[in-house]
Structures are given as structure tokens and as C-alpha cells.
Amino acid sequence: MKKISQDEINDVAWKACDTFRGTIDPAQYKDYILVMLFLKYLSDVWKDKQEEYDKEFKGDKERVARRLARERFVLPEGCDYYTLYARRNEANIGELINVALEQIEDANKAKLEGVFRNIDFNSEANLGQTKERNKRLKHLLEDFADERLDLRPSVVGKQDIIGNTYQYLIGRFASDAGKKGGEFYTPGEVSELLAKLLAPKSGNRICDPTSGSGSLLIQVGDQVSDGNFSLYGQETNGSTWALCRMNMFLHHKDSARIEWGDTITNPKLIEKDALMKFDVVVANMPFSLDKWGAEGAEADKFHRFHRGVPPKSKGDYAFLCHMIETAVEGSGKVGAITPHGVLFRGGAEGRIRQALVEENLLEAVVGLPEKLFFGTGIPAVILIFNKGKKTKDVLFIDASREFLEGTNQNKLGKDHIAKIVATYKAFQTVEKYAYRATPEEIAENDFNLNIPRYVDTFEAEKPVDLKAVQQEIDDLESQLNGARKQMAGYLKELGVNGKAT
């Protein structure tokens, strides 16, 4: 059976974008397209199961219905993509899609409640008046009828189709909205690197307080080979929260708890009136977020900012402090993707950074190559904090120079990931690549963690052979004199005196 490729899925998604072009903001394209992609996935899985049980029970509809009712989700009759496609010419097609999504939510409340609340296929404000709206929705349904778009698990495999398509769409739009979208998506190879660095274990509770599309959280969970782990997350953007819930469902992470709200000003992962504690906390936080909630930080009921309040225009340390406070005491690990500024900026950030080093929480600093992330060309850094450190030293790794170069975006190869992880595990100095720094050395650098202060990547220039250079100059001058004599001969033959003009 031929597997569908991500490129083929992307082609369908890009074609579907034409339905909305000139109607709504490009940032909203993905909401409609990804919801339709999710509906198509549910419908293909349901249809596949239905055909399987039809064959098994020789067309006994009652037995087929009983077996389908025990599946991990229920698709109510008439709510599947194929029924909507057949009704694509109806005058109220937008309303029909909304009703179908609402019934799917109601039939799967524990897993999908509220997932479609932010999307309205009957919105005049977004999709135009009835005639135009109906035309657009008809085209959208027809786009997803593409014969290539077979989303049965046997065809899709383990691809992250929601996350990958989301990444593709935000990468194609060069708008500010697209750039902001990049904050919510961590490229697969960076997620894989962070997951391997944190190495979650069986029984772990894993959390991403800025979960975005959920792909990073899923990747970290999948590192646990026996599947015994629990996932938690929080996302402030409503449509991205819904996307994360769909992504969890698509990856069979049905029990994942993903909350909607601002992690800093309104943390929702609470247990006995205190912050929940996790074995592994991971995040690709929004870089240097302005207006993150500094005005309420002093009075924070969870005392997350006891080391100091970060500047109101840069929320990086607000997220880091939250993550550290939610890690299990004595063993919890934190992995955060941050901008380089967190390593050296002064003021309140400098004081917080010093406290984290003096409390022996910081374990490793990994510098990444530039252009790995959508929306920003700047290189990022991974910070690993460990509440169960076995040493007081900090490992600095400069992995910024080793990557697979791309036109618009660079990537980490498997060898690059393996080298970083092996270096972290060995926790030793590697010439021109890694340095194991003592707390005294870090203090001597005024707690500035800028990687070049610790990892010397200077390459000495090869000594210049002056005799060889002089010989080369002499040879060139000799060739030049010969050329001049030859030119003079040509000019004489032509009866031209003097120099050529």
C-alpha cells in the first residue's frame, strides 16, 4: 500500500488556501484548513474501521454498530467528511459543517469538548455573505476530496500530519502573523534533540507550559518506550489550544490534559491549590515576550518570582522561573528553548541568572545553529536545569556550526543530534565543541553564560610561507612582462604606435 507523503498533504493544504485568499487574514487560513484536515482524518479512520467490521461480521449492521461504539472515538451518523462533501451544494453548508463538528464534540466530550469552539464555518464576518460563503466552503470540501488524501493510519503511518501541516502553512506566509505562528511550533529535529536530552522515564509526568501545537510535548512523551507517562500542557491562544487538543487525539494521547489560558498570569495546572509538579518540564517559549504580566508578579500567590521579577518587556525568565518551580524537587528536569539574551543580559535577569547558578540548578547550555525556527533567523539556545544534579559544574556545548544548510531554514541532522546528546551525557570538555565549567569560573565571568566565554572555537590561521608568496609575485610579474611584449608586437604589426587605448 502506497504511503501518503507530507509533501502530498501540504499540496492539498496549499491548494485549499486559494479558497480563502483575499477573504480572511492569512493567519486564519490554518484554522479552517487544519480543522477540515482533522475531520478528514476522523472520517477516514472511521470508514476504515467500518469496512473492517462489515467484512468481519458479514454485513450485520447491529454487530458492526456495537463494535464501532467501543472504538476510542465515536463519529455520529451524518457528521463525517464524506456526508458533508455529498451535501456541498446545500444552501446552508456552513451551518451543516458547524452542526457536524458540534455533534462530534458532544459524542466525545472527554476527549474533544471545546475543540471546535473557536471556528465558525458559517461566519459572515470571516467567509462573506451566503452566496460567497457557500462557494468557498464547496471549494474547500472539494479540495479535500483529492484522491491522494487518504488519511487512514495504515497509509499515514506515524507522521505528525497536523503539526507538520501547521508548520508548512506558517512557513509559507511571510506575514507578521506567520512569524508569530513560528513561536508555537518547534521543528521536529529540535523537538527530538530536546526529548533525547531530557530522557523521560517510565511513569513520568511531562509538561509543556507553552504547548503550542503540542508537537514538542508529543515528541518528549514518545521517548518513554513503554508508553507509561502522562502529558500536561497549557496554551494561551485559543485556536492553537484547539490545534494542540486535535494533535493529542490524532497521536492517541487521548488522556493528555491541555488547559487554555495564560501560564504566567493564570496557571491552570493546579493541584491542592498549589502548582502541579512534573518530572520533566519542556518548552519552546515565546521569545522575549512583552507585557507578560510583570505588574502582578510581586504578589504571585505561587511565589514563582522569589529570585526577582524579570523586566516587563522581556518574559523569558518569567517562563523559566515558572518551569523550575513546577519541576519535582530533588529530581525534576527542565529543558527550555530561549533566545541568547538570557545568557548575558544584566539587571533583574542577571540577578535571577546568578541565583539559578548558585542554587546549582543549571546543568547545561547548548548553543544551536541559526535559522532553525520559523519566524526568526536568530540562533537559539537550550537551557537544561536539573533538580537532581550530581555535580556543581555546568556543561557548555557550542553546536552552532554543525547543521544541514537550507535555503530558508537550516536543519539538524541525525549525526548532529547524536553528537550533542552524547556530549551532554559524557559531561566532559571536548576541544572546540564543549566545556565543563566550574561554578568558580562562572562567577569569575560575573555569571555571564555567553558560550564563547567558555568554549574556545578559535581556529588559528595557517602560517604564511613568505618565500612562496614572493615567488608567486615574481612569477606573475614575469607573465605580465611577457604579455606586454606580446601586445607591443601586435600593435607594431597593426601600425599603431604607443599604448593601446
What integer pLDDT is reported at residue 246 of this predicted model?
92
Rounded to 5 degrees, what angle do the CA atoms 394, 398, 401 make?
Answer: 175
Mean pLDDT for the chain? 90
Radius of gyration of the chain (CA): 29
The grid coordinates of residue 348 equal 533583574
Q: What is the pLDDT of residues 7-46, one digit of tens each?
A: 999 999 988 888 887 777 777 778 899 999 999 999 999 9
CA 244 to each of CA 190, 232, 256, 347, 494: distance values in angstroms, whole numbers, following the listed order: 18, 11, 10, 36, 82
pLDDT above 60 (res 198): yes
User: So where are the chain's domains?
Assistant: 6-159, 181-453, 464-501
What integer pLDDT is reported at residue 449 of this predicted model?
98
- Structure-model confidence comparison of residues 172 and 466, the more confident one: 466
253/229 Cα distance (integer angstroms): 10
Burial (Cβ within 10 Å: 0-12, 13-18, ≥19) of residue 271: exposed
Q: State the number of CA atoms in the 13 A half-sphere of 72 facing the CB.
A: 11
pTM: 0.86
Terminal Cα distance for the chain, rounded: 73
The grid coordinates of residue 381 equal 539556545
Q: Average pLDDT, stretch 128-139?
A: 94
Task: Say which CATH superfamily domain 6-159 falls into.
Answer: N6 adenine-specific DNA methyltransferase, N-terminal domain (1.20.1260.30)
Nearest Cα neighbor of 444 from 435, 434, 453, 456 is: 453
What integer pLDDT is reported at residue 182 of this predicted model?
40
What integer pLDDT is reported at residue 30 of this predicted model?
82
Nearest Cα neighbor of 146 from 1, 11, 3 is: 11
33/40 Cα distance (integer angstroms): 10
Q: What is the pLDDT of residues 46-94, one digit of tens each?
A: 999 999 999 999 999 999 999 999 999 999 999 999 999 999 999 999 9
Q: Which residue has the cell 604589426?
A: 493
pLDDT level of residue 180 (50, 70, 90 thresholds): very low
pLDDT above 80 (res 457): no
369/391 Cα distance (integer angstroms): 28
CATH 3.40.190.10 is held by the domain 181-453? no
H-run or E-run covering 208:
strand 205-208
H-run or E-run covering 442:
helix 439-444
